[in-house]
Chain A
Amino acid sequence: MKVRFLFAVAILALAGFVLMPTPTGQAAAGLEIGATVESFSLPDTDGKVQTLEALKGKNGTVVVWLSAQCPVVKAYKDRINEMAADYQTKGINFIGINSNASEDATWVKSNITEYGYKFPVLVDKGNALADKWGATVTPEVYYLDKKNVLQYHGAIDNDRSGRNVTDQFLKTAFDSSLSGKPIAKTRANAFGCTIKRVGE
């Protein structure tokens, strides 16, 4: 019995190595499409604690990871502001999150003014929320429906320069969702800035 068991363990372990020799690197943990997000509470740049439940829109919420120094975020700021203003009237609120260990609340606050954000930007000191949700890049968006179920995750559109946008991932997701249609593309990636985490 013991020998058979040990053989089974060995084969089992070996099967894992031989059948799927997978890479080592950072974990891909995080939210999956369809997951219901728990409410979170984070301070804004004045230190006032805000919650997802208090800030969410009646038809949904976009949580967007931002950075004060990332050139890609800078390239997207006008598109983010336009979408936030446009879709706020349709019941979708934007919440910005800054998890970069290299950007303190003072910097984030001045960046809000500089970039003209009209939505709250919260400071995720220690990147706990980024870790929990699996956010790694800026800008990176999570679109939640009114029940806080994740509908779309990833890039805003397919061109960071803004000159050759042919696929507005986030906007398409909004429009599909608001009209009761299924969202065709629930995930898309784009090149951006890696979130600087504590200890790195």
Chain B
Amino acid sequence: MKVLVSTLTKTALTGAVFLIFYSQAVVGQTRRPTANTPSAAKVKVTQVDEVAFKKLLVPNGKPLLINFWATWCDPCREEFPDLVALDQEYKGKIDFLTVSLDDPADIATTVPKFLGEMKAEMPAYLLKTPDESAVISSVSKDWRGGMPFTALYSPDGKLAYFREGKVVMETMRAELGKLLAPASTAKKDELYVTIDFVKIKDGKRPETMYYYEQNWKPYREEALKRGIIHSYELLESVLVTTAPFDLILITRYSGEEQHKNSEKNFEPILKQMRPNGPATMNAVKPDEFRQSVFVYRGKDLTSSFN
């Protein structure tokens, strides 16, 4: 234990860096555009190159939402009514702009025409660049270029959330809510947490990550939807190879009661999502590729530092 404590303290104080793996809920809703279509001439679309584009990524004191789309992209067009609704809902609270990847030849025709039909009031840009790969990487290292793509930046310019594919309104509202809610109003002192420190055995990282991506995370996404947990995170130690663990799995609960009932609350989710037991990448069993070295259960101590 002493060794573990020492390593943990050293790890923390030397500034261990972690990567967080994510997933999210899939619940959608759609709205149809209304009639009285404005003409294309009323909608202004500004062409930007990669230099001007990077300036767009800098928030101006508010959360910044950017949607990448194109008229040739069916799901992009399908989700646009939702984006327009989001813009109306959060007008004044966030900055929201759209970036079209259409052919520059369409900047005065099909692009503004569609935006006009949608009654979109967000500032509209069209990106023309010879180096799409650099632009894509500048938005998110996890983006391969699939559209639609929506990125949410916090007021200090950090990428807070992204979605490759059509936005899920509930999820987007929740992410916006996180940025808009003052930290002081969060009742962190009421949070309880389970932290599981996991060691990957024999270099079986693919099996381990597959296991958590396919089981642990989907379970928690469903738990979030059902309101039986507060939040979750999966952290990976990437720099400190001497640490006696490789992953930290954190699940937070809104209060002691929810924490105490977690096992009972998770049971129906596990039965529904994985009736035959957790998914594994291959024949290697969970005990053979990962080991839980320590589990902390109790109050979320991080709240006392805020």
Interface residues of A (CB under 8 A from B): 1, 4-17, 19-29, 69, 71-72, 132, 136-138, 140, 154-155, 158-159, 161, 164, 166, 188-197, 199-200
Contacts and interface: CB of A to CB of B under 8 A. Distances in A.
B62 to A, nearest CB: 17
Interface residues of B, number: 72
A139 to B, nearest CB: 10
9 contacts: A8-B5, A10-B305, A11-B12, A13-B250, A24-B175, A29-B21, A69-B74, A158-B130, A158-B131
Residue among B19, B146, B213, B296 with max Cβ neighbours from chain A (10 Å): B146
Contacts of B159: 22-23
B277 to A, nearest CB: 17
B23 A137 contact: no
A136 B301 contact: no
B163 A1 contact: no
A26 B144 contact: no
A140 B164 CA distance: 15
Interface in B138-164: 140-149, 152, 154, 158-164
Nearest to B238: A20
Pairs of residues from A and B, 6 with the lowest C-beta to C-beta distance, nearest first: A194-B146, A137-B146, A28-B142, A10-B301, A11-B12, A8-B8
Nearest to A169: B133
A6 to B, nearest CB: 6
Given A1-B1, A5-B1, A193-B147, A19 B175 contact: no
A9 B164 contact: no
Nearest to B10: A8
Interface string B6-21: 0011011101111111
Given A19-B15, A194-B148, 13 more contacts: A15-B16, A24-B161, A25-B22, A26-B164, A27-B21, A136-B164, A137-B145, A154-B133, A188-B133, A191-B132, A192-B144, A194-B75, A199-B26
A6 B148 CA distance: 43
B145 A12 contact: no
Query: SS class of chain B's interface: helix, strand, loop or mixed?
Result: mixed
Contacts of B158: 21, 23
A13 B136 CA distance: 30
A14 B302 CA distance: 6
A149 B131 CA distance: 27
Given A11-B13, A25-B142, A189 B133 contact: yes
Contacts of A26: 22-24, 142, 162-165
Given A11-B12, A193-B146, A199-B26, A161 B103 contact: yes
Nearest to A75: B72
B270 interface: no
A170 B47 CA distance: 29
Nearest to A17: B302
A7 B13 CA distance: 11
A28 B147 CA distance: 16
A178 B233 CA distance: 43
- Give the most central of A16, A17, A193: most B CB within 10 Å: A16
B304 interface: yes
B136 A16 contact: no
B147 to A, nearest CB: 6
Interface in B186-223: 195, 209-210, 213, 217
B145 A200 contact: no
Nearest to B165: A194
Contacts of A138: 146
Nearest to B301: A10
B145 A191 contact: yes
